[in-house]
Amino acid sequence: MIETGPLLVMAILFVPLGSAALLALFPDGRLTGQLNTLASFFTLLASASLFRIRPDPSQFLIVDDVNIVFIVLNTFVAFTTSVFSASYIAHEVETGRLTPTYLRFYHAMYQTLMFAMNLALLANNVGLMWVAVELATLTTVLMVGLYRTPAALEAAWKYFILGSVGIALALFGTIMVYLAASAVVGEGLNAMAWNVLVRHADAFDPHLLNLAFVFLLLGYGTKVGLVPLHAWLPDAHAEGPTPISAVLSGLLLNVALFAVLRFKMVMSANSGALAPGPLMVTLGLLSVLYAAFMLYRCHDIKRMFAYSSIEHMGIITFAFGMGGALANFAGLLHMTYHSLTKSAIFFSVGHIAQVKGTQNMAEIRGLTVSHPLLGWGLVLGAMAIVGLPPMGIFMTEFLIITSTFARQPVLAVALVIGLLVALGALLLRLNGLAFGAPHGKEAPSQASFVPMFAHLTLVLAAGIYLPPALVNWFQHVARLLG
Amino acid sequence: MDHLSLDVAHMFAGGLVLVSFMLLYQDRMFGLLNIFALHAVVVSLSVAWQAYIQFAPHLYITAAIALVVKAIIIPVALHRIIVRLGIHRTIETVGGIGLTMLAGIGLVALSIMVMLPITAEAGTLTREDLAFSLAVILLGLLMMISRRNAISQIIGFMSIENGLILAATAAKGMPLVVEISVAFSILVALTVIGIFLFRIRERFDTVDVYELERFRGGHP
Amino acid sequence: MALIYDLFVQVAQLLLVLALAPLLTGYIRKIKANLLRRQGPPLLQPYRDLLKLIRKEVVLAENASWIFRVAPYLVFATTLIAASLVPTFATGLVFSSAADLIAIVALLGSARFILALAGLDVGTSFGGIGSSREMMIASLAEPAMLMIVFTLSLLAGSTQLSSVSAFMQGPDVGLRVSLGMALVALIMVAVAENARIPVDNPATHLELTMIHEAMILEYSGRHLAVIEAAASLKLLLYFSLIACLFAPWGIATAGQGVVAMAIGVASYIAKLAAGGLLLAVFETGTAKMRVFRVSDFLGAALMLGLLAALLLFVSRSV
């Protein structure tokens, strides 16, 4: 009998990889978008089936409670983004911003990025996860610089330098963890496997773990976009193609945070180690406050939403830093909602940039009048990301604030200030963008609206009613996170 | 572990720190490339020696990769790029050389003070090599911060990589070292190609405020 | 009996050092000339120069104070003491308990200080330039020297020259990168302190390029003779220091017989000859650095010394 479990896992990894190779060679430009979507759909099917059939962990790959929802989320957003990207990129080729060669390159890199992210989520080996995150960084760097304008090249270069430094620091932390583990478990692959690490974490040398965690938080934290290591994020989002901004915000930041969470689990299991909480709380709060104030100074729409991503990543890190069942639960939910909402917003921003021909917010006015579907989609998305009820993010922010208030009221107040400042900035901008008399170019929108509204509907539905099975699962993982 | 093996390993690791300082000191592009080639040679010798005393033959592959890719291919490629693109041959620095050197010594002292107590349970060789590799990593970071030039930032990054390779071989029996070093080398090779393709001459710093405004996407 | 023998050996060292110093200077000059395909002055020329200067009349500036007149003798005295303390052909001599590395550094430092004062004393601009440049060099060379001393004494467990030399001859030394760095740093400091190329040209009198020569520009007659003798003694001192610290083979220990002492003397002279040859080749092959580059040069020596000490510290606490 063929083992379906491992087969599914292999499918999740090798469908993207295979299609990357295929897409790089496929000559016909019009079909590459469709092929991309098809490949993403199959990957989504494979990962959804993991809910039913769970393979046993191997030396290199593992599917456990912690990563299964992230895998499904990852493949789902990848699928919807590929739907959006198919029509969006076709329009870019029409306007001449992209040549057909770069089209093939783009799609091949897209699938390679999916492969890398899935591998990072599925990896049971610390080193393998690191290699996967590095590969993801590399592919996104190449894609950020896709348009080859000076600003795009600068953004790609900055991203490369900062990302590589982060990767290097993360590798040093990984080596430290291996050192701590090999003293207890023995040398070899066992000392790098997650399931083994968590089981034996209590016996590790706490000082080594402390140093390792500092390096890991700084290293992977650069990829999450935590202040003060965030400098690459606004440029990368503003200059890359919009589907890539959606994937960066919605998926890659999550994958990097997932890596930090895995290590946090190992740290929490060790009683002598430094509590990882205060570090994460500090970085998270700093990110929220900094991003909230920077929102006022943005003139480029993508840049503004990039800072919003930094803010939300800060909130999530803050929540996981506070720890405890409720805050962890809220953090996990927030990761999911933010993924869906931010990618929906970037879909709409992509439409806007195409119809208006600019990303400068001063030139975009009155969207609800000129393009009603698009305008109201943006309004809905902005309301969701800002945390207004009944959208899901309101509930998670509420949970985080209340659970923080019970333990550290001062921090809760600081967080609320940050959230309110961000709310003010985003709503102020939204007012100018969506309402008022329209002016500027008004090309008809040609890309598909379905992904955007699909995401927003999900977030709205989840805000009102979350199925008990899902709630139970999230609570279970929240307890595991410690 | 007998005295001679330890002494030779110590010599290579200490030599690597010394060459990192020499990298910090360079103010000419071609000199920088030559010293970097020396850095890569010292790292590959160190890894080969570790392969010998740890009886870990797969590390010979890592040493060979470091030697061929970083000591030969990349310096030659960068040399050609510098000539072709007409990049400035001198390197502007942020802060004076003296201050940078003092900061470097401070970083070396810091890494020794941090690493030695933490690794109290590991073997002598591991402790020394880890302390020195952290020093090399921090010196590479200092180099990346204090230079204004794309090529010298890449070289700083590659010296960080060399320090990481030293750390990975010091952690006894770590699997996947070869794979990780291959992954790193691919990363750097692609970037070097990228510089050439995209003609990145300088880091995008300029004193002209108008240019600055433009490259900051208009405004932050 | 043994005490008289030891005393005799100590005095012999002092006289040997005094006698060999001008010979070393002449030897180096001869080799440099030969490398430049010139005949060069004869080997014993420095002795003749010293005798000539002693017989000449001293010309003093009107505003020269007593410092100016006393300085040459003080410089000579301190340098002679320092030079006679460094083991040349035998360690563990009668005065060796005073032969502390730090004491030698202090003695040389005081000699430099007195000379700088003398340069400032007459109030000419050349003297001022020389003294200020000398002090700039000193501010970097002395910390570098102390770092080297620190490295060596960490290894040997003592700052006494005899102990360090004995340790370096022993089997515990091992292959150490710190020692290599300390050696290179010591050579750089020696070049700077003795006013050799690339730091300072001992044969120049151009304003832009003088350091040591500028300080002694006003001296004449027997004063100049004493100062020149002190300069060659300093060069010999540094050679002996490098030889006894890093190439200690052949040095006899106190109390051994005449044969061992003779071997010691022979190996010492051989080391001097080799060192002199290397210095001459190095000086001929390098150009003099501009004065503001000297701080980079000595900064490198300081860095090397610091690194050597740090590396040693690591390997000792592991």
- When divided into structural domains, chain C yields a total of 1
Residue B183 has its nearest CB partner, among A134, A142, A187, at A134
Cross-chain residue pair A211–B114, CB shorter than 8 Å: yes
The winner for highest mean pLDDT among A194-203, B51-60, B179-188, C45-54 is C45-54
Q: For the segment B90-126, what is each residue's pLDDT rounded down to a tens digit?
A: 777 777 777 888 899 999 999 988 888 888 777 788 8
- Residue C200 makes CB contacts below 8 A (sequence gap 6+) with C209, C210, C211, C212, C213, C288
Residue of chain B whose Cα is closest to the Cα of C310: B109
Give phi and psi for C90, each to the nearest 5.
Answer: -150, 145
Touching chains C and A? (3+ Cβ pairs < 8 A): no
Q: For the segment C22-47, what is each residue's pLDDT rounded down to a tens digit?
A: 999 999 999 999 999 999 999 999 99
Q: Report yes or no: C213 and B46 within 8 Å, Cβ to Cβ.
A: no
Is the residue at B59 inside a domain?
A: yes
Say what the pLDDT of residue B216 is. 55
Cross-chain residue pair C177–B14, CB shorter than 8 Å: yes
Cross-chain residue pair C175–B108, CB shorter than 8 Å: no
Closest CA to B77 of B89, B69, B65: B69
Dihedral angle sign, alpha carbons of residues A340, A342, A343, A347: positive
Side-chain half-sphere CA neighbours of A369 within 13 A: 12
Q: Report yes or no: C41 and C30 within 8 Å, Cβ to Cβ.
A: yes
Angle between helix axes A301-322 and A206-224 (nearest 10 degrees) is 160
What are the chain C neighbours of B124 within 8 Å (beta carbons)? 318
Q: For the segment B117-160, what is each residue's pLDDT rounded down to a tens digit?
A: 888 777 788 888 899 999 999 999 999 888 877 788 889 999 99
Say what the pLDDT of residue C317 is. 73
Residue with tokens 């492969």: A115
Q: Residue B48 pLDDT more than 60?
A: yes
DSSP per position, B9-50:
HHHHHHHHHHHHHHHHH--BHHHHHHHHHHHHHHHHHHHHHH
First to last CA, chain A: 39
Residue A175 has its nearest CB partner, among B168, B191, B220, at B168
Cross-chain residue pair A175–B171, CB shorter than 8 Å: yes
A254 to A108, A221, A229: CA distances (angstroms): 22, 11, 16
Higher pLDDT, A13 or C139: C139
Q: Residue A105 pLDDT more than 80?
A: yes
C-alpha of A374 from chain center: 23
- Residue A182 makes CB contacts below 8 A (sequence gap 6+) with A188, A191, B171, B172, B173, B174
Q: Report yes or no: A256 and A264 within 8 Å, Cβ to Cβ.
A: no
Residue with tokens 């400035």: B88
Q: Is B17 on the interface with C (CB under 8 A)?
A: yes
Residue of chain B whose Cα is closest to the Cα of C311: B14
Query: Which residues is C160 bridged to in the sheet?
Result: C100
C238 to A234, C99, C194: CA distances (angstroms): 61, 14, 8
Q: Report yes or no: A88 and A354 within 8 Å, Cβ to Cβ.
A: yes
Full residue range of the structural domain in which residue C237 is found: 2-317
State how far the Cα of A378 lies from the Cα of A355, in Å rounded to an integer. 14
**Surface of A (60-79) touching B: CB under 8 A:** none
Say what the pLDDT of residue B198 is. 62
Higher pLDDT, C68 or A99: C68
What is the least distance, in Å, from the CA of C298 to any CA of chain B? 11
Say what the pLDDT of residue A161 is. 86
- When divided into structural domains, chain B yields a total of 1
Residue A300 has its nearest CB partner, among B187, B191, B217, at B217
Cross-chain residue pair C315–B131, CB shorter than 8 Å: no
Q: Report yes or no: A236 and A248 within 8 Å, Cβ to Cβ.
A: yes
Is the residue at B220 inside a domain?
A: no
Least confident of A99-113, A250-264, B192-206: B192-206
The vertex-B154 CA angle with B152 and B156, nearest 5°, equals 70
What is the least distance, in Å, from the CA of A203 to any CA of chain B? 13
Cross-chain residue pair C314–B8, CB shorter than 8 Å: no
Continuous segment of H or E residues that includes residue C252 = strand C252-253
State how far the Cα of A211 lies from the Cα of C124, in Å rounded to an integer. 61
Full residue range of the structural domain in which residue B24 is found: 3-215
Q: Report yes or no: B154 and B188 within 8 Å, Cβ to Cβ.
A: yes
**Surface of C (76-135) touching B: CB under 8 A:** none
- Complex prediction ipTM: 0.87
Q: Residue A216 pLDDT more than 70?
A: yes
What is the least distance, in Å, from the CA of B187 to any CA of chain A? 7
DSSP assignment letter at C160: B
What is the least distance, in Å, from the CA of B164 to any CA of chain A? 7
Say what the pLDDT of residue B207 is. 33
Closest CA to A348 of A424, A466, A264, A451: A451
Residue B3 has its nearest CB partner, among C174, C307, C310, at C174
Closest CA to C7 of C255, C312, C306: C255
**Lookup: tokens for A348:** 């709409």
Residue B8 has its nearest CB partner, among C175, C295, C304, at C175
Closest CA to A154 of A173, A141, A166: A141
Q: How confident is the model over C140-167, as a mean pLDDT?
A: 89
Which chains, if any, share at least 3 CB pairs under 8 A with chain C? Answer: B
Q: What is residue B95's three-state secondary structure?
A: coil
What are the chain C neighbours of B98 within 8 Å (beta carbons)? 295, 299
Q: For residue C96, which amino acid is it?
A: S
Residue with tokens 């020596």: C301
Q: For the segment A427-480, what is each residue's pLDDT rounded down to a tens digit?
A: 988 888 888 777 777 777 666 788 888 888 888 888 888 888 888 888 888 888
Closest CA to B130 of B118, B152, B115: B115
What are the chain B neighbours of C298 within 8 Å (beta carbons)? none
Q: For the segment C206-233, what is each residue's pLDDT rounded down to a tens digit?
A: 777 778 888 888 999 999 999 999 999 9
Greatest pairwise CA separation for chain B in angstroms: 63
**Lookup: tokens for A340:** 């869906």
B127 to A206, A208, A215, B166, C317: CA distances (angstroms): 16, 12, 18, 12, 10
**Lookup: tokens for C270:** 């051989």
Residue B219 has its nearest CB partner, among A179, A211, A297, at A297
Say what the pLDDT of residue B203 is. 45
Residue with tokens 């890199």: A109
Least confident of A297-301, A427-431, C166-170, C203-207: C203-207
**How confident is the prediction for chain C on average, in pLDDT?**
89
Q: For the segment B191-217, what is each residue's pLDDT rounded down to a tens digit?
A: 777 766 665 554 444 333 344 445 555
What are the chain A neighbours of B122 within 8 Å (beta carbons)? 179, 183
Predicted model pTM: 0.85
Say what the pLDDT of residue B208 is. 36
What are the chain B neighbours of C307 within 8 Å (beta carbons)? 14, 17-18, 21, 105, 108
CB pairs under 8 A between A and B: 113
Mutate to test the interface with B, among A149, A178, A214 (most CBs of B within 10 A): A178
Q: For the segment A32-89, what is each residue's pLDDT rounded down to a tens digit?
A: 888 888 888 888 888 888 877 777 777 788 888 888 888 888 999 999 999 888 888 8
**Lookup: tokens for A455:** 């995401």
The vertex-C211 CA angle with C209 and C216, nearest 5°, equals 120
Q: For the segment C177-192, what is each residue's pLDDT rounded down to a tens digit?
A: 788 889 999 999 999 9
Q: Report yes or no: C54 and C222 within 8 Å, Cβ to Cβ.
A: yes
**Lookup: tokens for C191:** 């070049």
In SS3 terms, chain A reads as: CCCHHHHHHHHHHHHHHHHHHHHHHCCCHHHHHHHHHHHHHHHHHHHHHCCCCCCCCCCCECCCHHHHHHHHHHHHHHHHHHHHHHHHHHHHHHHCCCCHHHHHHHHHHHHHHHHHHHHHHHECEHHHHHHHHHHHHHHHHHHHCCCCCHHHHHHHHHHHHHHHHHHHHHHHHHHHHHHHHHHHHCCCHHHHEHHHHHHHHHHCCHHHHHHHHHHHHHHHHHHHCCCCCCCHHHHHHHHCCHHHHHHHHHHHHHHHHHHHHHHHHHHHHCCCCCCHHHHHHHHHHHHHHHHHHHHHHCCEHHHHHHHHHHHHHHHHHHHHHHCCHHHHHHHHHHHHHHHHHHHHHHHHHHHHHHHHCCCEHHHCCCHHHHCHHHHHHHHHHHHHHHCCCCCHHHHHHHHHHHHHHHHCHHHHHHHHHHHHHHHHHHHHHHHHHHCCCCCCCCCCCCCCCHHHHHHHHHHHHHHHCCCHHHHHHHHHHHHHHC
State how far the Cα of C93 lies from the Cα of C12, in Å rounded to an integer. 11
What are the chain B neighbours of A175 within 8 Å (beta carbons)? 164, 167-168, 171, 174
**How confident is the prediction for chain A on average, in pLDDT?**
86
Which chains, if any, share at least 3 CB pairs under 8 A with chain B? Answer: A, C
Q: Is C316 on the interface with B (CB under 8 A)?
A: no
Q: For the segment C55-72, what is each residue's pLDDT rounded down to a tens digit?
A: 999 999 898 999 999 999
- Residue C124 makes CB contacts below 8 A (sequence gap 6+) with C217, C218
Q: Report yes or no: A116 and A472 within 8 Å, Cβ to Cβ.
A: no
Residue B128 has its nearest CB partner, among C174, C306, C314, at C314
Side-chain half-sphere CA neighbours of A241 within 13 A: 29
Closest CA to A241 of A74, A105, A37: A105
Confidence of residue A351 (pLDDT cuts 50, 70, 90): confident
Q: Is A272 on the interface with B (CB under 8 A)?
A: no
Say what the pLDDT of residue B219 is. 46
The vertex-B194 CA angle with B188 and B198, nearest 5°, equals 155
Q: Is A216 on the interface with B (CB under 8 A)?
A: no
Say what the pLDDT of residue B215 is. 52
Domain range annotation of chain A = 1-170+227-251, 275-482
Angle between helix axes A253-269 and A206-224 (nearest 10 degrees) is 170
Say what the pLDDT of residue A400 is. 92
